[in-house]
Structure 1
Amino acid sequence: MSLLGMIGTSLGLFGLAHGLTHLRAERHERRAEAAFPPEGQFLTVQGHRIHAVVLGAGPDLVLIHGASGNTRDFTHDLAHQLAARYRVIVFDRPGLGYSDPVNRRGATIWQQAEILAEAAMQLGAQRPVVLGQSYGGAVALAWAVYCPANIAALVLLSAASQIWDGGLDRYYRTLSHPILGPLAAPYLTAFVPEARVTRELESIFTPQHPPKGYNHHIGAGLTLRRASLRANALQRANLKQEIRAQVPHYPQISVPVEILHGDADTIVGLHIHSEPLTRQIPNAHLTTLPGIGHTPQHNAKPQVMAAIDRATTRAGLQQPD
């Protein structure tokens, strides 16, 4: 066989393997969506479908999840507890869960904040208290900076807010690459077992553990979908430069701000992020959580709920019963 013939055969075999991988990935995605369907309702914002879960009654409270997440991170428990005193709105961020991506480059934290603020207004929440965790905290900060008329108070949990040392790891470099990313994502969807994703999710809780029933509720297969992998990686790859542009605007934030951060958080460091942020935002209040890792929404719920109540009171909203 000639060299050209060998190349042609190899390309044909690769194309066949890649096509079969996409079919397997599609089957896995359908199975994940059947097992973990949308929990709420859909809104159309700037031509994009946004998934929202609305619970309870009282002052409006928006919850924004972190990287690789979806509404289920909050609806496992915290959102239902808060719904006794608040009208809770939990969004899937653009490109994740059941919300559409807004572009092929990765929605910026500013674009996400603008879209979620408009979605909240469609639901009648003109000036909600906004809570963001981890990457979602960066989006919540962007909401306070760029949509100041549409926010009453800000609550940040383990929020990414500052520039940090180090670059992007190989996983995100690959999945965010314009050529390698679309090639690699189907293989992860098709062949990475959900148990592996569950183990990775569990590592986020260190030194604590996921609460009972969390692994069965969160829907790891939703995170493994091709579009979700790609959207998450692009957002993560762009985050550092977006935060660099956002930091100078923090002193302009005038709404009440409550910041909570565990001193055992090894993913988003307290000393790197929340301590400087407390000095940058006028009248921001920091609560340090001894021994708590990256997930206070699960492992420090009483402190989180108390911070939300403080923010609500400081904003002059209706006092929760």
Structure 2
Amino acid sequence: MYAFPFITVTVIATGLILFSWIQSRRIERLYPPIGEFVDVGGYRLHALHIPAAADADLPAIVFLHGASGNLRDQVEAFRQDLEGRAELLFVDRPGHGWSDRGGGQNALPDAQARAVAELMERKGIKSGLIVGHSFGGVIAANMALETPEKVDSLLLLATVSHPWPGGIDWHYHLATTPFIGRLAAWLIAMPAGLLRISRAARCVFSPNHYPPDYLARSGTALVLRPWTFKYNAHDVASLYDHIVRTSPRYGEIDRPTIVVAGDEDFVVSTEIHSRALTRQIERAELHVLRGVGHKPDYAATEVCIAAMEKLGGKEVDLAAIARKVERDINAGGETTNPPPSIPKRSSAINQIPVMPSEPI
């Protein structure tokens, strides 16, 4: 009498696993590697390395994407404006995009920071300006702590940096539970993620203009592959304890640092993270942009580029540029109302189930 339900469950589970596998292959065909694979000590990182032009006017720049992302996100935001001006290195962090995971230690930001530093060494980049968005910001800060010789300066965009109230979203806990997490990654992540990915990406951009071709250009769907989904969940689930231990050390960072954040960031609290981080780093300056959310790399690209120029030694009135961009955003109809499910003010990291484009 119990055979029929068991067979039914088995058939459904097998179908979902097959669906996830087929969709993973489809997504990989849509978003193949666009860089090269570099061995960093027993595993490979995927990175897009663009040499500087002969008349380059900026130092080498390394870009670190956020959670659920891959290097295409920052390539789309910055390559067009910076190509030729500097040596550029866009990195798929360990376990993301097309990079190997490289072991369980790479769930922690300090290990990922060392991996990126080793990648720079293998590519002949002595040191550079490290740009980190969201989760990538805590990797960049860890590079300044773990491998300071590789860091000339830091640009931290809507970064996560400090302990926050409220915990993380349920699907990260589920995906990191032994055995059950592996099943969830294969049975749930792909179908649920495909249904929600567009809305989730809009939530992350809120309240700013959402580029209608963002998903097609950014390859965000790569995170729905079961193995990548699991690695991403382990990154997020391991983050809180790590920054509890690490955040008291931010005062040791002695590199010029610019922090850019939005006052309408519904994903990462600017007050808890960016403001607190700026207070700890002696050589840091903070620019909070009025009307900007969690994607200043897209909503305020001009400000981010100007910050890189300033960190590169140019005379730049960054505050004036920031005010101009604010006026354009808030007077030019480039904002949208936040979705009803996103609170107007947050003191925590808000995770958007099931597939945020950049949850942190």
Q: TM-score, normalised by structure 2?
A: 0.82
Q: Which moved more, 1:145-154 or 1:97-106?
A: 97-106
Q: Deviation at 1:78?
A: 1.3
d(CA) in 2 for partners of 1:106 and 1:115?
Answer: 8
Q: Deviation at 1:15?
A: 3.9
Secondary structure at the aligned position of 2:249 is classed as helix
d(CA) in 2 for partners of 1:182 and 1:104?
Answer: 15
Alignment of 1:253-292 (within 5 A): 253-292=253-292
d(CA) in 1 for partners of 2:91 and 2:25?
Answer: 22
Q: Which residue of 2 aligns with 1:55?
A: 50
User: How many residues are aligned here?
Assistant: 309
1:40-63 per-residue CA deviation (whole Å, 9 max, x = no partner) reads: 111011211101012241421000
CA 283–190 in structure 1, closer or farther in 2 if over 3 Å, else same = closer
The 8 Å contact of residues 28 and 221 in structure 1, kept in 2 or not, is answered as: no
2:136 aligned partner, one-letter code: G
d(CA) in 1 for partners of 2:79 and 2:190?
Answer: 32
Secondary structure at the aligned position of 2:287 is classed as strand
Q: TM-score, normalised by structure 1?
A: 0.91
1:23-72 per-residue CA deviation (whole Å, 9 max, x = no partner) reads: 22111011001011111111011211101012241421000000100011
Q: Deviation at 1:262?
A: 0.7
Alignment of 1:145-294 (within 5 A): 145-192=145-192, 194-294=194-294
Q: Which residue of 2 aligns with 1:317?
A: none
Secondary structure at the aligned position of 1:54 is classed as strand
d(CA) in 1 for partners of 2:289 and 2:103?
Answer: 37
Is 1:44 matched up with 2:29? Answer: no
Q: Deviation at 1:310?
A: 1.2
Q: Deviation at 1:14?
A: 3.6
Q: Deviation at 1:237?
A: 0.5
CA 104–24 in structure 1, closer or farther in 2 if over 3 Å, else same = farther
Indicate the RMSD between aligned Cα atoms, in angstroms: 1.8
Q: Deviation at 1:13?
A: 4.6
Q: Deviation at 1:194?
A: 2.8
Secondary structure at the aligned position of 2:165 is classed as coil
1:136-187 per-residue CA deviation (whole Å, 9 max, x = no partner) reads: 0011011111111111111100010111111122121111212221011112
Match of 1:18 among 3, 13, 16: 13
CA 44–105 in structure 1, closer or farther in 2 if over 3 Å, else same = closer
The 8 Å contact of residues 22 and 190 in structure 1, kept in 2 or not, is answered as: no
The 8 Å contact of residues 256 and 284 in structure 1, kept in 2 or not, is answered as: yes
Q: Deviation at 1:210?
A: 2.3
Q: Deviation at 1:104?
A: 4.4
Q: 5+ unaligned residues in a row in structure 1: which ranges?
A: 315-321
Is 1:29 matched up with 2:24? Answer: yes
1:62-97 per-residue CA deviation (whole Å, 9 max, x = no partner) reads: 000001000111122312211231111000111110
1:169-208 per-residue CA deviation (whole Å, 9 max, x = no partner) reads: 2121111212221011112344236352122112100101
Q: Which residue of 2 aligns with 1:318?
A: none
Secondary structure at the aligned position of 2:88 is classed as strand
CA 106–126 in structure 1, closer or farther in 2 if over 3 Å, else same = closer
d(CA) in 2 for partners of 1:300 and 1:73?
Answer: 15
The 8 Å contact of residues 77 and 297 in structure 2, kept in 1 or not, is answered as: no
1:166 aligned partner, one-letter code: G
